[in-house]
């Protein structure tokens, strides 16, 4: 069941209510019976485990060992090719 946050426009108090999605919104403060407005808050929802984008499809970066090896191979092949036109 979702938790909704409300703030009273009269006394300024904030409170939470457990409400079903189909239930009507609360219109009165439970402390002073003044008008209330619904607040928007961030969710603490986080996907964990395998099968989610962040763990399986997010693009795996090569390890530092592999990237160093690739750089060494590129440098060695460039040295074998000789000086380029821009080096002169």
CB 36 within 8 A of CB 6: yes
In a domain, 18, yes or no: yes
Predicted confidence at residue 21, as pLDDT, reads 86
Average pLDDT of span 23-43: 91
- Does 16 reside within a domain? yes
Residue 57 falls inside a structural domain: no
In this predicted structure, which of 8-12, 49-53, 64-68 has the lowest mean pLDDT? 64-68
Residue 2 lies in a domain: yes
First to last CA, the chain: 73
Our count of domains for the chain comes to: 1
CATH code assigned at 14? 2.20.28
What is the arithmetic mean of pLDDT over 8-33?
Answer: 94
Q: Residue 4: enclosing H or E segment and its boundaries? A: strand 3-8
Position 27 in a domain: yes
Least confident of 29-38, 40-49, 54-63: 54-63
């Amino acid at each position: 069941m979702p938790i909704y946050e409300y703030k009273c426009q009269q006394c300024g108090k904030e409170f939470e209510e457990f409400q079903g999605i189909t239930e009507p919104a609360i219109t009165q403060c439970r402390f002073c019976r003044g008008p209330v407005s619904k607040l928007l808050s961030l969710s603490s929802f986080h996907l964990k485990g395998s099968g989610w984008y962040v763990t399986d499809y997010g693009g795996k970066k090569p390890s530092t060992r592999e990237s160093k090896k690739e750089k060494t191979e590129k440098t060695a092949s460039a040295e074998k090719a000789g000086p380029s036109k821009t080096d002169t």
